[in-house]
Amino acid sequence: MKVIGADVGGTFTDLIFSDLSTGALGIHKVSTTPDDPARGVMEGIIALCAMNDVAPSQIDHVFHGTTTATNAVLEGRGARTGMITNDGFRDILHIGRHQRVEHYSIMQELPWQNRALIRRQHRKTVAGRLIPPTGAELVPLDEDGVRIAARELRAEGVESVAICFLFSYLDPRHELRAKEIVEQEMPDAFVTTSSSVSPQFREFERFTTAALAAFVGPLVGRYITGLDEALRGIGIRGDLRIMASNGGVATPAMVKEKPALTLQSGLAAGVLGGGWIGEQAGRSKLITFDIGGTSADIGIVMDGVFAETDSRSTSIAGFPLLMPMLDIHTIGAGGGSIAHVDRGGAFRVGPQSAGAVPGPAAYGRGGTAPTVTDANIVLGRLAADDFLGGDMGLDADAAHHVINTLAAQLGLDPLDTAEGILTILNANMANTIRSRTVQKGIDPRGFALVAMGGAGPLQGAAVAAILSIPEVIVPPYPGITSAMGLLTTDLKYDAIRTQFQISTALDSSRIGQDCDAMLTELSSRFAKDGVADETYTRSGDLRYVGQGYELKIPLPDGTVTAQSMQQVWDAFHAAHVAEYGHAFPDSPIEVVNIRLTGIGRLPKLAATAAPAGGSLEASLIRTSACVFRGDDGLASHDTPIYRRETLPVDTPFNGPAIVVQKDSTTLIPPGAIASVHPSGCIIITLEKAQ
């Protein structure tokens, strides 16, 4: 079986080919073509096939990570979108939660008002009202009103419609009927309902999620259709599979119906790739740490399970997004982050970034601000000759110049300044990892850090040391871990049913019936996709009665009974202790939602292996002076620089050392020990952390 992964990033589109039967692997990188990302993807696929001597017709699957939906939202380039909602509630999207973004600002913008997804003139209201607790009909739907609204929207040039009614998560019938009518009146429009996008309570968040889906729907649909056709055009007969925010892939039909699935597509693949690599190295508790030029993305994997966000913590461009997503935390800290002295005289690193253009001063593209990359050069950790395999020279003088200028401003020595930039950067990153681990009751000391992205392997060991994480794993190709992640996915679909049931008066048969209904929903979806080998897991969103935030707890398989639910209550109390340090064992528990996740197995990337042979001696390029902080302050160390491709397996070497390869540079600090694992990963063991 032959597969291709194509991951579109801001600057580059990364491609990977693998023959799963032989384990053969080929990688390629092309420039992203922002006006039509499919062009770059196709160029890359054609080249990749040629490089690996494989005919497009032999490719069985193409896996794709896309930023089309994300960019449409970030740049406000979506469809002209309309909405049909209840009388009396025209402005739910505009009022939001009536909370400002910033506490201490008069001149701030509110994204939902200043960058509205749906203008008020395209928000139509109709009579019709359902009420809790069961979704009973208080006022019947005004079907003529829906028809009139749809005609108005069509006349206004609207090409996409979100249908959003209160309490539709309890009963979608009004939304579904309105959708039928709108589709009759607007046959070419994209039409979605809030209950199909995310059947959960909290109307602003649900309506906004539906509005986001409608906003990106036509664009995503055209993009996927175009790409699919282009693939057929070069003779590829295999299936296209698109990365979704929940960490699975979806079919083109599914993505066209539910485009919001792809809003965090780009980030998910990175975490998957990190998780897969960690598993190759035999580690099951992982923190994936992906540093690029402008940002760092952090994810958590435990025993093959990827942490998911709770539904209240996710947003895109300031809009809440009520969807199952991998818990990926992004901070504005990367190789291009700019170090500066702010107005109050404090030393800051980021969040502003020099990006790829102009980039760090050392890129020689006109950058004049000192960046993290410049600091690494000044400390001797990035060598001009080795950067991007020597394809791109670095201007070390320029790096020294900008760091010297900053040092003068701070009244510090230039080396202290450079090292300080990294210390602040690493502390910021460690704080973020702490917020995803320690603050959720997870002890990072039992984890390994997977350092990836172009800049991850340079900072990984230092960040791990701050958190007392004992091990750092550097993947064989740190720069294309996201693309590799695409080749490790399964089809993954989620279903959800709101319950609002309380442990003291539980109707377990209703939970059982809803589980069955979700199973029918998902299995028919998989049947359509031609998947036979599928598995399901149940879970519930639980909280103590009265609380507003839920914890996700596994639900046992089989018939739901009072006995089987007792396990669930116990598990909830335990999870509450783990997450918050405390439980309220006498309080009744509320089941807010139940969920079913279906996984349709797909073929996976074969294990990687380090090239055989090689020796430390043969790998040694030279020895250079690098600066590190020790107990007595900064000191220069003679540091061997090794070529990664020829490092021997299972042969430990001591830090300080630097390992260079085309897409990244790995730093092993003094006191640490590194060794190439048979999987090809470098594993850095930190002495101090043990």
Partner 1 sequence: MTRIDPITAAVIQGALENIAIEMGHKLMRMSYSSIIRESEDFGAALTDATGRQMCECKMSTPLQSGPIPGYIQNVIQVLAQRNDPVRPGDVIMHNDPYGGASHGPDVAFCVPVFVNDNLIGWSVTTAHHLDIGALSPGSCGIVDAVDTYAEGLQFKAIKVIDQGRRIEPVWQILRDNIRASDLVVGDMEAQIEAARIGAARFVALVKANGLATVTAAFEDLMDYSERLMRDAIRALPDGDYTATTYLDGYLDDPDPTRRDLPLVVTLRVRGDTLAVDLTGTAPQLPDKPVNMPLIGTVDCAVWLTIRSILLDSVTYGAIPQNSGLTRPISIIAPRGCLANPIFPAPVIARFCSGNQLADTVMKALAQVVPHQVSAGIGNLRVVAISGLNEGNHWVHMEIMEGSYGGRFGMDGMDAVDTLYANTRNNPVEDIESHIPLRVERYELREDRIAPGQWRGGIGTIREFTFLDDAGFSLEGDGHAYRPWGFDGGATGHVASLTLQTADGSERALPSKVPYFKVKAGDRLISCGPCGAGYGDPLLRDPDAVASDVADGLIPAGTALRDFAVVLRDGAVDTKATDAARRSRG
The sheet carrying 534-544 orders its strands as 24-31, 12-19, 2-8, 61-65, 239-243, 249-250, 491-502, 589-600, 534-544, 551-555
Q: How far apart are CA 643 and CA 614, in angstroms?
A: 10
103-130 exposure pattern, b = at least 16 Cβ within 10 A, e = fewer: eeeeeeebbbeeebbbeeebbbbbebbb
What SS3 class is residue 682?
strand
| Per CB under 8 A, 119 contacts partner 1 | yes
Burial of 2 (0-12, 13-18, 19+ CB in 10 A): buried
| Per CB under 8 A, 329 contacts partner 1 | no
Pairing of strands 160-164, 136-139: unpaired
State the helix-helix crossing angle for 414-436 and 456-466, rounded to 10 degrees.
70
| DSSP 3-state percent helix, strand, coil across the chain (nearest 5) | 35, 30, 35
Nearer CB in complex with partner 1: 393/633:
633
- Choosing from 22, 35, 53, 98, the residue that interacts with partner 1 (CB under 8 A) is 98
Say which residue the tokens 């900008």 belong to.
402
Query: Greatest CA span in the chain, whole angstroms?
Result: 81
Beta strands in 80-197 (DSSP E): 81-86, 123-126, 129-131, 136-139, 160-164, 190-193
| Per CB under 8 A, 121 contacts partner 1 | yes
Supply the minimum distance, in Å, between the C-beta of residue 587 and partner 1.
7
What is 232-267 written as a DSSP string?
HHTT--SEEEEE-TTSSEE-HHHHHH-GGGGTTHHH
Nearer CB in complex with partner 1: 3/291:
291
| Per CB under 8 A, 500 contacts partner 1 | yes
From 73-81, 278-286, 367-375, 578-586, give the range in contact with partner 1 by CB under 8 A.
578-586
Supply the minimum distance, in Å, between the C-beta of residue 105 and partner 1.
5
- Choosing from 39, 401, 549, 673, the residue that interacts with partner 1 (CB under 8 A) is 549
Going by C-beta distance under 8 Å and a sequence separation of 6 or more, which residues neighbour residue 610?
476, 647, 649, 676, 677, 678, 679, 680
| Per CB under 8 A, 276 contacts partner 1 | no
| Per CB under 8 A, 348 contacts partner 1 | yes
Nearer CB in complex with partner 1: 201/569:
201
From 35-43, 190-198, 520-528, 580-588, give the range in contact with partner 1 by CB under 8 A.
580-588
By residue count, the chain amounts to 690
Count residues binding partner 1 (CB under 8 A). Answer: 67
- Choosing from 75, 102, 144, 533, the residue that interacts with partner 1 (CB under 8 A) is 102
Supply the minimum distance, in Å, between the C-beta of residue 423 and partner 1.
5
- Contact predicate 420/428, CB 8 Å: no
| Contact set for partner 1, span 394-453 (CB under 8 A) | 410, 412, 416, 420, 423-424, 427-428, 431, 434-435, 439
40-55 exposure pattern, b = at least 16 Cβ within 10 A, e = fewer: bbbbbbeebbeebebe
Contact characters 191-220, partner 1, x per CB under 8 A: ----------xxxx----------------
| Per CB under 8 A, 80 contacts partner 1 | no
From 294-302, 508-516, 547-555, 673-681, give the range in contact with partner 1 by CB under 8 A.
547-555
- Contact predicate 46/55, CB 8 Å: no
From 147-155, 178-186, 243-251, 577-585, give the range in contact with partner 1 by CB under 8 A.
577-585
Give Rg (Cα) of the chain. Answer: 26
From 103-111, 300-308, 367-375, 610-618, give the range in contact with partner 1 by CB under 8 A.
103-111
Say which residue the tokens 């739910």 belong to.
92
Going by C-beta distance under 8 Å and a sequence separation of 6 or more, which residues neighbour residue 651?
615, 616, 675, 676
Going by C-beta distance under 8 Å and a sequence separation of 6 or more, which residues neighbour residue 441?
577, 578, 579, 580, 581
CB atoms < 10 A from the CB of 157, how many? 9
- Choosing from 106, 505, 532, 562, the residue that interacts with partner 1 (CB under 8 A) is 106
Going by C-beta distance under 8 Å and a sequence separation of 6 or more, which residues neighbour residue 117?
78, 81, 93, 208, 211, 212, 214, 215, 319
Nearest residue to 619 via CA among 658, 670, 654, 656: 658
Nearer CB in complex with partner 1: 107/532:
107
Supply the minimum distance, in Å, between the C-beta of residue 258 and partner 1.
22
| Contact set for partner 1, span 166-185 (CB under 8 A) | 166-167, 169
- Contact predicate 680/610, CB 8 Å: yes
Supply the minimum distance, in Å, between the C-beta of residue 359 and partner 1.
23
Contact characters 585-624, partner 1, x per CB under 8 A: --x-------------------------------------
Angstrom CA distances, 555 to 300, 326, 328, 500, stand at 22, 20, 24, 16
Contact characters 364-403, partner 1, x per CB under 8 A: ----------------------------------------
| Per CB under 8 A, 345 contacts partner 1 | yes
- Choosing from 1, 20, 54, 131, the residue that interacts with partner 1 (CB under 8 A) is 131
- Choosing from 157, 582, 585, 617, the residue that interacts with partner 1 (CB under 8 A) is 582
Nearer CB in complex with partner 1: 161/243:
161
Supply the minimum distance, in Å, between the C-beta of residue 562 and partner 1.
24
| Per CB under 8 A, 562 contacts partner 1 | no
The identity of residue 117, as a single letter, is L
| Per CB under 8 A, 187 contacts partner 1 | no
H/E segment holding residue 642: strand 633-643
Nearer CB in complex with partner 1: 49/496:
496
From 164-172, 226-234, 289-297, 508-516, give the range in contact with partner 1 by CB under 8 A.
164-172
- Choosing from 50, 51, 55, 95, the residue that interacts with partner 1 (CB under 8 A) is 95
Supply the minimum distance, in Å, between the C-beta of residue 360 and partner 1.
20
Sign of torsion over alpha carbons 434, 440, 441, 446: negative
| Per CB under 8 A, 557 contacts partner 1 | no
- Helix extents (H) in 548-634: 562-580, 616-619
From 27-35, 125-133, 191-199, 394-402, give the range in contact with partner 1 by CB under 8 A.
125-133
What SS3 class is residue 491?
strand
- Contact predicate 33/42, CB 8 Å: no
Nearer CB in complex with partner 1: 135/299:
135
| Per CB under 8 A, 148 contacts partner 1 | no
Q: How far apart are CA 487 and CA 608, in angstroms?
A: 13
Nearer CB in complex with partner 1: 53/343:
343
- Choosing from 31, 57, 100, 533, the residue that interacts with partner 1 (CB under 8 A) is 100
Footprint of partner 1 (CB under 8 A): 88-92, 94-95, 97-100, 102-110, 113, 119-121, 131-133, 166-167, 169, 201-204, 342-349, 410, 412, 416, 420, 423-424, 427-428, 431, 434-435, 439, 500, 544-549, 579-582, 584, 587
